[in-house]
Each structure stands twice: as C-alpha cells, then as structure tokens.
C-alpha cells in the first residue's frame, strides 16, 4: 500500500513536471493593444498596429521561447471610458500580459490605474502629454512628449528672426504642454507671445481662430494639433485666408506635417518648418530598411511617426522579454526595460531609467518636394534630448 502510494506520488510529480514544463515554455505572451481603429483618429490605430506587426514580421514572433499574440481593441479615439473598458476586458477576460498602444492622451490616462492595479507593463506608443508616464510606475513610452518636440522649434524661431508669436493648440493635455513649453523657451530667448488660442479637440471649426490670427498680425503662428484630419483642415484655411501671403509664418511640431497628411495638405505645406523625432526622409541605414519593408508590406500607404513608435514599442517588448527570460511580471519587466538603448529608424533612442520615458534626437525640418513626394527634410538637430516637461 505504502509502496503504491509512493509510486503514485512519484508518478504525479513526474507527470506534473512533464505537463508544466512544455506548457509554460509554449505559453504565448499576449499583448493587448488599445487603439483608435475607427472614428476621426482611426489612422493612428492603423499606423501603430502595422508598425508592431512589421517588427514581428522582420524579427520573428517568438522571444525567449514565447510566441507573441496581439489582441487589438478599438477605443474609437477620445473616449476614455471606452479605453478603460477595453483595458479591463483585456486584463480580465483575455488575460493579457502586457497593455500597449494608446493613440491619445485621454486613453492613456484612463488606463494607467488599471496597469497599476493589475501590475501589467503598459507600453505607450503615441499619447504624448508629458505627465502620462507619471500616472503609473508600469508605463514605458516609445513615442515622444510634447515639451520634447516643442522646445527645439521655439529656440529655432527665436534665433531666426521671429519675435512675435500667436500660439494655437488643441485644448487638452498635449496642447497645454506645447503651449507652456513654447512660451517658456521662446520668452526666455527674448520672444513675445501676443495671443494664446486653444481649439476644441472634437470637431473644431478653425475659421474664427484663423481670422483672429490674421487680425493679430504676428511674425508667426506656433501650432500643435493632433495629427491627421485637423492639420489638413487648418492648413487649408491658412492658405485660403492668405495668412502666408500676408507674411505670417507657420511653425509647428511635426504632428502638423505627418507623412500620412502631407499628400492631403499639398502645396500649402511647402516650406513649413517643424521640429520632430521622425521623418520618413530621415537618412540612415536603419530607416531605409524600415521604409523599404513598410512599402513592401503596406504600400502605397506612407509610414509616419506613429508607425515608428509602434515598431519601437514592439522592439522594446521583444528585447525586454529576452532580458527577463520571457517573464512579463510587471516589476521585473519594467526594471529590465529601464535604460534600454537602440538605434531606431528615427535615430538613436533610449528609455530614461529615471522616468521610463524616451530620450531621442529632435530634428528641425522643412517640407520640400523630394522626387514626386512632399517630405520633411531634416536640416538641424538636438541630440539625446530628454523631456523638458518633467520636474
Ligand atoms: C495625444 O493625444 O497625446 C496626441 C495625439 C496626437 C498627436 C500627438 C499627441 O499628434
């Protein structure tokens, strides 16, 4: 009897090992992507998801022996309650290991407490208000922050004969960050802000704001609008009202001239100067490989900064999995991701271990016609630039 019992125990232990080992090794890493896949910001979801998938296509879809599985949930844009519900479902029903995506700031803000509570790594691939990374210790960001991409254009303006500026920003987190940083850097360099205008995030009509700019007669307008439809509409109005003809320059963060919008903006984009972290025309071997692979997979659609943030977000996840031996334990994963460094299609980047935010080169660019296409052509840069919006 005793012998049988002992044999049974041994058998159970043996079976247990047999069952546990291969199952654990084959357990996929589930990544839940919360993204706007419909509505006015659907382009963000498309670019980010395609960026993530392109990385997997080029580098393989298994890391530290674990296959990566993507589960995409549409949060429809600026709808924090939908983002929150999506993330809850991903954690509770789909049992994802990692949350990622986040096209807009309200979405990232809404999901941060869920990442904290569930102790899940949360990789932000666009939402760019500086404070996003302070909302949970589990957040890592591979996109940018608005103060980071704004300060360089403010310095450039002050050095290039622009004295009086009207700021025009979307009235929410990233717009407020852009307005504050532009003012801080530009005024410190001797410039003057003559008016500050905030436009609604949802369905803005730019006509009255453009008229106010025209009446104020500044040397330049500094603009931040969320990439996509709004920049196209603003640029059309800017051209129709002859603001450029009346001598008002337009400077902006590169959200305005994202490659996905350039063709729709057309000629009025020519000559516009922006500062940003990614241009399709960025001249490097890493970007050439990325852009070639992109067109092969998705052409004729153009890649923009969101595609690269998705691609780099997937790189960060893949390399961190290798470091943790496949563990997605929130604390271990985030610790391992801190300080990660690599050469992105945009140039050299790293994850600041103190803030979990991205450090990167910001380029000053001018829209020019290159061959048949309008491109952001880089002509100056600020290397290794940390988010100046952090205390
Ligand atoms: C944001 O909501 O954080 C956001 C959206 C679009 C951009 C930049 C920032 O182009």
Q: Which domains does the chain carry?
A: 29-144+283-356 (3.40.50.2300), 147-276+363-385 (3.40.50.2300)
Predicted confidence at residue 390, as pLDDT, reads 87
Torsion angle in degrees (nearest 10) through CA of 41, 42, 43, 46: 140
Residue 391: pLDDT band (50, 70, 90) is confident
CA of 145 to the centre of ligand 1 (A): 9
Using CB atoms within 10 A of its CB, is residue 137 exposed (0-12), middle (13-18) or buried (19+)?
middle
Q: What are phi and psi of 288, to 5 degrees?
A: -60, -45
CA of 104 to the centre of ligand 1 (A): 5
Residue 16: pLDDT band (50, 70, 90) is very low
Atom of ligand 1 nearest to the CA of 78: 2
Spatial distance between the Cα atoms of 326 and 67, rounded to a whole number of angstroms:
10
Residue 77: pLDDT band (50, 70, 90) is very high
Predicted confidence at residue 8, as pLDDT, reads 55
> pLDDT, tens digit, for every residue of 20-68?
444 455 699 999 999 999 999 999 999 999 999 999 999 999 999 999 9
Average pLDDT, the chain: 94
Atom of ligand 1 nearest to the CA of 132: 3
Residue nearest to atom 3 of ligand 1 (CA): 127
pLDDT of 5 > 50? The answer is: no
List the structure tokens of 240. Answer: 């129709």
- Residue 348's SS3 state is strand
Among 46, 83, 109, 227, which is best to mutate for testing ligand 1, by the most ligand atoms less than 8 A from CB?
227
Among 174, 200, 224, 278, which is best to mutate for testing ligand 1, by the most ligand atoms less than 8 A from CB?
174
pLDDT of 294 > 60? The answer is: yes
Mean pLDDT on 71-78: 98
Neighbours of 100 (CB within 10 A): 27
Residue nearest to atom 7 of ligand 1 (CA): 226
pLDDT of 84 > 70? The answer is: yes
CA of 227 to the centre of ligand 1 (A): 7
> pLDDT, tens digit, for every residue of 263-281?
999 999 999 999 999 999 9
Predicted confidence at residue 64, as pLDDT, reads 96
List the structure tokens of 194. Answer: 């003559």
Nearest to 41 by CA among 186, 191, 231: 231
Atom of ligand 1 nearest to the CA of 172: 2
CA of 294 to the centre of ligand 1 (A): 22
CA of 176 to the centre of ligand 1 (A): 12
Non-local (6+) Cβ contacts of 78 within 8 A are 41, 104, 106, 107, 172, 201, 202
pLDDT of 182 > 60? The answer is: yes
List the structure tokens of 149. Answer: 């991409």
> pLDDT, tens digit, for every residue of 249-268?
999 999 999 999 999 999 99
CA of 106 to the centre of ligand 1 (A): 10
Residue 15: pLDDT band (50, 70, 90) is very low
CA of 324 to the centre of ligand 1 (A): 31
Residue nearest to atom 6 of ligand 1 (CA): 226
Mean pLDDT on 112-124: 98
Beta-carbon-side half-sphere exposure of residue 141 (alpha carbons within 13 Å): 33
CA of 261 to the centre of ligand 1 (A): 14
pLDDT of 217 > 50? The answer is: yes
Predicted confidence at residue 299, as pLDDT, reads 94
Residue 6: pLDDT band (50, 70, 90) is low
> pLDDT, tens digit, for every residue of 299-323?
999 999 999 999 999 999 999 999 9
């Amino acid at each position: 009897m005793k012998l049988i019992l002992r044999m049974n125990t041994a058998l159970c232990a043996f079976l247990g090992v047999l069952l546990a080992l291969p199952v654990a090794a084959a357990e996929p890493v589930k990544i839940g992507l919360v993204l706007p896949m419909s509505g006015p910001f659907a382009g963000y979801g498309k670019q980010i998801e395609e960026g993530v998938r392109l990385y997997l296509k080029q580098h393989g879809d298994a890391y530290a022996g674990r296959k990566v599985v993507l589960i995409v949930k549409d949060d429809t844009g600026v709808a924090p309650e939908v983002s929150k519900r999506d993330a809850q479902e991903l954690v509770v029903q789909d049992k994802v290991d990692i949350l990622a995506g986040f096209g807009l700031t309200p979405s990232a803000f809404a999901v941060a407490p869920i990442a904290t509570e569930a102790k899940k790594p949360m990789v932000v691939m666009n939402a760019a208000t500086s404070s996003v990374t302070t909302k949970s210790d589990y957040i890592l960001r591979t996109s940018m922050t608005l103060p980071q991409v704004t300060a360089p254009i403010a310095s450039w303006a002050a050095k290039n004969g622009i004295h009086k500026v009207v700021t025009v920003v979307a009235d929410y987190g990233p717009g407020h960050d852009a307005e504050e940083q532009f003012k801080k850097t530009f005024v410190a360099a001797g410039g003057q802000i003559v008016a500050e205008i905030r436009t609604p995030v949802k369905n803005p009509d730019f006509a009255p704001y453009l008229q106010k700019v025209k009446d104020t007669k500044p040397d330049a307008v500094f603009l931040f609008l969320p990439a996509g439809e709004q920049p196209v509409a603003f640029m059309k109005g800017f051209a129709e009202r002859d603001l450029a003809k009346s001598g008002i320059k337009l400077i902006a963060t590169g959200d305005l001239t994202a490659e996905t919008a350039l063709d729709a903006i057309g000629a009025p984009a020519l000559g516009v100067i922006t500062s940003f972290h990614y241009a399709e025309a960025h001249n490097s071997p890493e970007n050439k490989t990325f852009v070639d692979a992109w067109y092969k997979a998705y052409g004729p659609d153009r890649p923009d900064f969101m595609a690269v943030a998705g691609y780099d977000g997937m790189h960060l996840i893949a390399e961190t999995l290798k470091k943790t031996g496949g563990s997605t334990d929130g604390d271990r994963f985030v610790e391992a991701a801190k300080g990660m460094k690599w050469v992105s299609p945009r140039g050299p980047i790293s994850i600041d271990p103190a803030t979990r935010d991205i450090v990167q080169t910001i380029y000053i660019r001018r829209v020019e016609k290159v061959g048949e296409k309008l491109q952001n052509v880089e002509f100056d840069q600020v290397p290794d630039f940390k988010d100046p919006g952090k205390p």
